[in-house]
Amino acid sequence: MKIGALTGGGDCPGLNAVIRAVVVRGASLGHEIVGYRDGWRGPLEDDRFDLTPDRVEGILATGGTILGSSRTNPLAEDGGIDRIGENMAAAGIDGLIAIGGEDTLGVARALTDVGIKVIGVPKTIDNDLGATDYTFGFDTAVNIAMEATDRLRTTGESHHRAMIVEVMGRHAGWIAFHTGMAAGADVILIPEREFDVDEVCRHVENRFAAGHAPIVVAAEGAMPIGGFPETADDSTDAFGHVRLGGVAAWLEREVKERTGRDARATVLGHIQRGGSPTAFDRVLATRCGLHAVAAASEGNWGTMAALKGTGIEMVTLAEAVDELKTVPSSLYAEAEVFFG
């Protein structure tokens, strides 16, 4: 069989581990693996190259993706889906392994609906895909953000400042929640729950009163009650997402004004997505790749490799993109015990 592989959406540590697993296992099963460049742009423009076990030697531990990525959306292009089908047929590609988050997998599902064979592998540092317990990339992002927050704590203590850390997470606060829990944050702000800025300032003052530098971890999608108009930029990508950012800077100003104490904002941004994956992410990514190739060999198209407990199971692509997984309020309450 000839299988095309692509990585779409925001990159994350572990993508290369999946590609390696798909290529090595694919070759041992007698399949030819072709890499499409830059997400859905590859099959749309028929931009591809052959992937052999030699080509993927040594990439397991590397960040990024050797295939490149983009947020190209074939559903937003006139005749995009048909073009992908025609290009695949002309190149003799039997099916695709699409490694991506909700947007990439949403396209995969639409392709499946018109009879194009696709298998999904879930990735996102945001960990917000409903059908899988964890996505690779998330553990690495949390470890990076935790280490950064630990470092911010020591400089905050020296200068008696409130330190506000902005992490990624548009609609789901998983990175903020886990980072805050792991780094012992005094306040964690997530998109799932609008925050009261007075309450945040009360926690900040309590920590100062106890002789400590307060740490606030905020997801980029966190909003004050009644809404927060600031975005880094009003432009949207091909999937209609606004570029977020600005909550930490806004909070820095509010904390200074309302408490009279010094504060500093740090936006971790794409540092969370770069570099080598953790052991957990390397193993999860590798296992997802192996199961995706196995599913292709069995003709189990239209499915996605999902982590359920400690096992990998194939779920339908429809199930995979059905619902965004957000932080439940009962879990958030566990972190709230440590606020202020």
Active site residue 126: yes
Q: Is 125 in the site for ligand F6P (CB under 6 A)?
A: yes
Considering the rule CB under 6 A, would residue 137 count as an interface residue with ligand F6P? no
As a whole number of angstroms, the distance between CA 42 and CA 71 comes to: 11
| Span interacting with ligand F6P, options 73-81, 82-90, 142-150, 164-172, rule CB under 6 A | 164-172
Question: In angstroms, what is the minimal distance from the CB of 105 to ligand F6P?
Answer: 12
Tokens standing for residue 124: 């996102």
Residue 3 forms beta bridges with which residues? 33, 95
Question: 9-38: which residues touch ligand F6P (CB under 6 A)?
Answer: 9-10
- Which residues in the 208-267 window bind ligand F6P by CB under 6 A? 220, 244
- Report the residue from 13, 35, 63, 169 that binds ligand F6P according to the rule CB under 6 A: 169
CA-based R_g, the chain, Å: 21
- Contact call for residue 173 and ligand F6P (CB under 6 A): no
Residue type, 160: H
Q: Is residue 119 a contact partner of residue 301, using CB atoms and an 8 Å limit?
A: yes
Element (H, E) at 146: helix 138-159
Q: Cα separation of 291 and 102, whole Å?
A: 19
Using CB under 6 A, pick the residue from 8, 101, 180, 302 that binds ligand F6P: 101
Nearer Cβ to ligand F6P, position 3 or 167? 167
Which residues, numbered 264-293, are part of the site for ligand F6P (CB under 6 A)? 273
| Cα 62 from Cα 335, distance rounded (Å) | 33
Given the residues 11, 38, 103, 126, the one annotated as active site: 126
Residues 9, 103 contacting (CB under 8 angstroms): yes
Shortest approach of ligand F6P to residue 245 CB, angstroms?
8
| Cβ atoms of residues 56 and 19 within 8 Å | yes
Q: How far is the CB of 125 from ligand F6P (least distance, A)?
A: 5
Instruction: Provide the 3-class DSSP secondary structure of residue 133.
Output: coil
Residues marked as catalytic: 126
Binding site for ligand F6P (CB under 6 A): 9-10, 101, 124-126, 168-170, 220, 244, 273
